[in-house]
Amino acid sequence: MGCPLADVLTDNIHDALEEVPEVKNIEVKLVWYPAWTTDKMSRYARIALGIR
């Protein structure tokens, strides 16, 4: 189980956090349980992406 973009996600998060001077240590952990679904999206995110 996994995500084909897991490396891209962790790299992008790490790179963004490196830009924050107050952040000294960065450890990004992806979790697979509970599984993410669109049910976890906010109403506004659903509207922005055209998801019902």
What is the mean pLDDT, run by run of 10 residues, along the chain of 52 residues?
A: 86 97 95 88 95 85
Question: What does the pLDDT read at residue 32?
Answer: 86
Question: What does the pLDDT read at residue 1?
Answer: 58
Task: Provide the Cα torsion 37, 41, 45, 51; round to 10°.
Answer: 40
Q: Is the dihedral of CA 39, 30, 10, 26 positive or negative?
A: positive
Rounded CA gap, 51 and 21, in Å? 36
The number of helices, as runs of H, and strands, as runs of E, in the chain is 2, 0
Question: What does the pLDDT read at residue 8?
Answer: 95
Question: What does the pLDDT read at residue 14?
Answer: 96
